[in-house]
Amino acid sequence: ADRAAFIAGLPKAELHLHIEGSLEPELMFALAQRNAVAIPFASVEEVRAAYAFSNLQDFLDIYYQGMGVLHTEQDFHDLTAAYLARAHADNVRHVEIFFDPQGHTTRGVAFATVIAGITRALDEARREYGLTSKLILCFLRHLSEADADATLDEALPFLGRIDGIGLDSSEVGHPPSKFARVFARARALGLKLVAHAGEEGPPAYVREALDLLHVDRIDHGNRSLEDPALVARLASEGMTLTVCPLSNLKLCVVGDMADHPLKIMLDAGLAATVNSDDPSYFGGYVGANYQAVADALDLSKAELLALARNSFTGSFLSDADKANHL
């Protein structure tokens, strides 16, 4: 109870959150009805029952299906506003949100529609809660680099609202090297760079993200721990890892929360953070992620505070804005 109050009171930044992964079953049903889209579920309970995954791909199949109810600017607004209200309730002060435009443009939804809805909700949260945000466009790595390039072209008119690019979807078989050219292009445009690496993929993918993509953060990074030289490098470079405990449990990256490597990461000097990834699918928002991993690993208040501080220092806020949070 003491730990719960401490976690609830900690000001946090969330750095690994796929906005489409915050689509709660209730909103999925409401949007399916509003847009007259058929969904293969009869009830909210049936949807939740379908959220049993044995790996990343199991989840991705249902995640891409779920986002099919999102059509209008209002839909993207309502999705984002619901997440931001929930994050605010967890004392999240700053959020860096991923979105997957290719999950929408391939269904005929305009890039501009997606951006307009998300940014309207971000602007409202800034005014209503003082909650600040950055927006990160993710490329789907199971698609080609040419597709990613075309998506970056579509983003060019909106770079005033897009702070960085990321790399997500099916990791194994789609190494960072596949996207070296489009990342170089984004880097030349002044965008921040992140990539999912070492969630299911090997430590070599984390090395590629560092050496070939020149990322500013590693999303997940769990499998880095298999390579001690890589761990030493990540620690000495102060590289932020955006770790997602409930995601790791639900996608069987860890078999049990008691086996979660978060404490090992902290003890190794890694700049680990705690994040929710796809909270609707994985059973909890950021506060629940802190709570679950803290209970399982018996994390101290000092460790919890370090995790929360890492979330601000690893953010893409300016040094002046970081200082206001630390």
| Site of interaction with ligand ADE (CB under 6 A) | 18, 21, 56, 63, 168-169, 196, 199, 247, 277-278
Enumerate residues 195-214 that contact Zn ion by CB under 5 A.
none
| Per-residue tokens: 8 | 């609830």
> According to the annotation, is 278 in a ligand binding site?
yes
Q: Has 18 been labeled as part of a binding site?
A: yes
- 317: Cβ contacts below 8 Å, ≥ 6 apart: 13, 94, 132, 134, 325
Residue 14 binding Zn ion, by CB under 5 A: no
Q: Measured between alpha carbons, how far is 234 from 258 in angstroms, rounded to an integer?
A: 24
One-letter identity of residue 263 = K
Using CB under 5 A as the binding rule, the residues of this chain from 261 to 320 that contact Zn ion are 277
* CA pair distance 135, 312, nearest whole angstrom: 15
Q: How far is the CB of 21 from ligand ADE (least distance, A)?
A: 5
199: annotated active-site residue: yes
Q: Does residue 20 interact with Zn ion by CB under 5 A? A: no
Task: Give the separation between CA 95 and CA 19, rounded to whole angstroms.
Answer: 11
Instruction: State residue 11 phi and psi, 5-degree precision.
Output: -70, 135
Select from Zn ion, ligand ADE, none the partner in contact with residue 14, using the beta carbon and a kind-dependent cut-off of 5 to 8 Å.
none
Contact criterion met (CB below 8 Å) for 80 and 128: no
Other C-beta atoms closer than 10 Å to the C-beta of 303 total 18
Instruction: Write down the least CB distance from residue 110 to ligand ADE, Å.
Output: 21
Given the complex with Zn ion, which of 68 and 221 has the nearer CB atom? Answer: 221
DSSP state, residue 73 = H
| β partners of residue 174 | none
- Work out how close the CB of 199 gets to ligand ADE at its nearest, in angstroms, rounded to a whole number: 5
What distance in Å separates the CA atoms of residue 75 and residue 278, rounded to the nearest whole number? Answer: 18
Out of 14, 24, 73, 199, which one is annotated catalytic?
A: 199
Interaction partner, residue 208 (Zn ion, ligand ADE, none; CB < 5-8 Å by kind): none
Query: Shortest distance, CB of residue 134 to ligand ADE, whole angstroms?
Result: 17
Q: How many residues bind Zn ion (CB under 5 A)?
A: 1
Closest CA to 92 of 1, 8, 2, 4: 8
Contact indicator for 66, 106 with CB cutoff of 8 Å? no
Residue placing its CB nearer to ligand ADE in the complex, 43 or 106: 106
Instruction: Judge whether 277 is annotated as a binding position.
Output: yes
Of residues 111 and 282, the one with the C-beta less far from Zn ion:
282
Question: Which among 295, 237, 247 is positioned nearest to 270, based on CA atoms?
Answer: 237
Of 21 and 221, which has the nearer Cβ to ligand ADE? 21
Q: What DSSP state is assigned to residue 254?
A: S
Q: How far is the CB of 58 from Zn ion (least distance, A)?
A: 15
By CB under 5 A, tell whether 100 contacts Zn ion: no
Tell how many helices (H) and how many strands (E) occur in the chain: 17, 8
The answer to the question of whether 174 is labelled as a binding residue is no
Binding site for Zn ion (CB under 5 A): 277
- What is the set of active-site residues? 199
Which residues line the annotated binding site for substrate?
278
Which residues line the annotated binding site for Zn(2+)?
16, 18, 196, 277
Which residues line the annotated binding site?
16, 18, 196, 277-278
